[in-house]
Amino acid sequence: MDYSRGCDGRFGRVVVWTVFSWRATDAASDDLELHILKDLEGLRIVSRSAPMLGLVATMIPMGPALLALGRGDASGVGENMVVAFSGVTLALIAASIAHYVLTVRRRWLLQNLRAIERAREAG
């Protein structure tokens, strides 16, 4: 990846590039790191809350499944268990995708931050 386009030595500014936007800034590295954390916060929340929502999606159909079990309705138990396990599976898949995207974006943004730091050290 070519980071040389990230610096504009003529004006003494550094271009901060994220996956979705870029802008010129004179911010300190700590400020840029906070900006990166802010950009990644949504993905962190999704990747951590999706499994909890999957647990909720599992527990909601368990009540009707237990009622069907008490009535001796095996097909009702089966239908509700399919819904329960489908919900948790979907939530875990969503959490896995969000975690993957979070990891890759964090690496890209930290590489850009390091390139900005190197550019500042060089000139």
pTM: 0.70
3 state DSSP class of 13? strand
pLDDT tens for 8-52 read: 443 334 445 544 444 545 667 788 888 888 999 999 999 999 999
In terms of Cβ atoms closer than 10 Å to its own Cβ (0-12, 13-18, 19+), residue 4 is exposed
CB proximity list for 92: less than 8 A, separation 6 or greater: 50, 51, 54
- Which tokens in the block code for residue 117? 């730091």
The strand ranges marked E within 3-115 are: 7-8, 13-17, 22-25
More confident residue, 115 or 1: 115
pLDDT category of residue 4 using cuts at 50, 70 and 90: very low
CB proximity list for 12: less than 8 A, separation 6 or greater: 26
